[in-house]
Amino acid sequence: MTTVITATTPATAAPKAPVEEHERDERQGPDEYVEMTVRDAIALALREELLADEHVFIMGEDIGAYGGSYVVTKGFFEEFGDRRIRDTPIAESVIVGAAIGAAMGGLKPIVELMTINFSLLAIDQIVNHAAKILYMSGGQVNIPIVLRMVTGGGSQLGAQHSQNLESWYARVPGLTVVCPSTPYDALGMMRQAIQEANPYIFVEHSLLYRAKGKVPKRYYTVPSGQSVVRREGKDVTLVGYLRSSVLNLQAAEILAKEGIEATVIDLRSLRPLDLEPVITSVEQTNRAVVSEDAWLTGGISSEVACQIQERAFDFLDAPVQRVNGADVPAPYSRELEELAYPAVDDIVRAVRATLQ
């Protein structure tokens, strides 16, 4: 499944969908677009905010002289210097803790934690501290930080570098968790993240960095807690985020050739989680398939499936199907790893199961 990732913008992937229309300001006339990758989009937002606000700084492992292990901050060190682009020791807890303290003192830290696997060394700071301080202080101290982390497998990196742990953070009140799968969302969500007053977890998928898409030249942001309909169809509702959202669009193409029209919804934000479009869609399609790369047990797909049955039970013509990663540590072997993460065919099969 690692070969089929070609994320596309709504404009090219699903021409009949009213995607993101709600975000356009019609008074500005038709948008002009530029094409860029997800990586470019994140870098653009970071650079914009670094230029706009001297309180913004980035800290993390190898983001400076090295240029970032996923090359997002390449050239920043030279442009902004070592005060704004701070290389840190490999010490995740103090990186996040120092960001929390710096935010308390009036700065706007953006942290690159390299991967979500390494964020576990800082989970005390993220969950016990960043998410709690506003509440524990009775509203006196807010923590405006952005934590960037890369999630996901599919690159044969083995069990310790391939996890999808974003749903863990999505369980925690006080945190916001966003998962952009397109350049449009990456740019708009990062702009929004940096302006927010709260701890913001910005999850990037390693296989989507090179995904291309068009973004408008006009300034826009994408708030958290707004799912988006990527494609509309009457027969089944496909729900996913990050890589699974891309797979859902590919599955919809295949299904369309069989005469099955799928609605595809990209959650984009795991906390807050916006299921209104999902419920509305299921009320019309009467069928739903929820997919994610993460493990089956106790994840986002569980939450979405649960809420669909709570809120749209009478509309369902078939049990909600889930397509998840296997409940196993990620294997190294390419052949085994391909079995460990969902593929387009898995989603197509799940859709057929809801139609039987």
Q: If DSSP states are collapsed to H, E and C, what string results for 211-248?
A: CEEEEECCCCCCCCCCCEEEECCCCEEEEECCHHHHHH
Closest distance between other proteins and the C-beta of residue 317, in Å? 36
In which region does residue 78 sit, left (phi positive, over 0), alpha (psi from -120 to 50) or beta (all else)? alpha
With binding defined as CB under 8 A, does residue 129 bind other proteins?
A: yes
Q: Binding-site residue total for other proteins (CB under 8 A)?
A: 46
- Pick 109 or 152: Cβ nearer other proteins: 109
Q: Which one is catalytic: 20, 49, 61, 92?
A: 92
CB distance 165 to 116 below 8 Å: yes
| Lookup: tokens for 238 | 């496909």
Cβ-Cβ contacts under 8 Å for 312 (sequence gap 6 or more): 279, 282, 283
With binding defined as CB under 8 A, does residue 27 bind other proteins?
A: no
Q: Which span (172-180, 273-281, 328-336, 344-352) binds other proteins, by CB under 8 A?
A: 172-180
Residue from the set 6, 12, 28, 137 that interacts with other proteins by CB under 8 A: 137
Closest distance between other proteins and the C-beta of residue 326, in Å? 32
Closest distance between other proteins and the C-beta of residue 125, in Å? 6
- Pick 30 or 89: Cβ nearer other proteins: 89
Other CB atoms within 10 Å distance of the CB of residue 313: 9
Cα 40 to Cα 183: distance, rounded to the nearest angstrom: 8
Based on the residue annotation, tell me whether 92 is a catalytic residue of this protein: yes
With binding defined as CB under 8 A, does residue 57 bind other proteins?
A: yes
With binding defined as CB under 8 A, does residue 198 bind other proteins?
A: yes
- Pick 37 or 221: Cβ nearer other proteins: 221
3-class SS of residue 185: helix
According to DSSP, the residues that pair with 128 across neighbouring strands are none
With binding defined as CB under 8 A, does residue 98 bind other proteins?
A: yes
Residue from the set 2, 37, 93, 280 that interacts with other proteins by CB under 8 A: 93
Based on the residue annotation, tell me whether 161 is a catalytic residue of this protein: yes
- Chain positions 103 to 122 lying near other proteins, rule: CB under 8 A, are 103-109
Closest distance between other proteins and the C-beta of residue 64, in Å? 13
Cβ-Cβ contacts under 8 Å for 75 (sequence gap 6 or more): 67
With binding defined as CB under 8 A, does residue 133 bind other proteins?
A: yes
Residue from the set 101, 171, 256, 261 that interacts with other proteins by CB under 8 A: 101
- Pick 7 or 146: Cβ nearer other proteins: 146
Helices 183-195 and 38-52, axial angle in degrees (round to 10): 30
Kind plus residue range of the DSSP H or E element containing 203:
strand 200-205
With binding defined as CB under 8 A, does residue 201 bind other proteins?
A: no
CA angle, residues 165, 72, 183, in degrees to nearest 5 = 75
Which residue in 199, 203, 221, 205 sits closest to 109, CA to CA?
Answer: 199
Residue ranges that bind other proteins, judged by CB under 8 A: 53, 55, 57, 83, 88-89, 91, 93-109, 124-125, 128-129, 133-142, 144, 173-174, 176, 195-198
Which residues are annotated as catalytic?
Answer: 92, 161
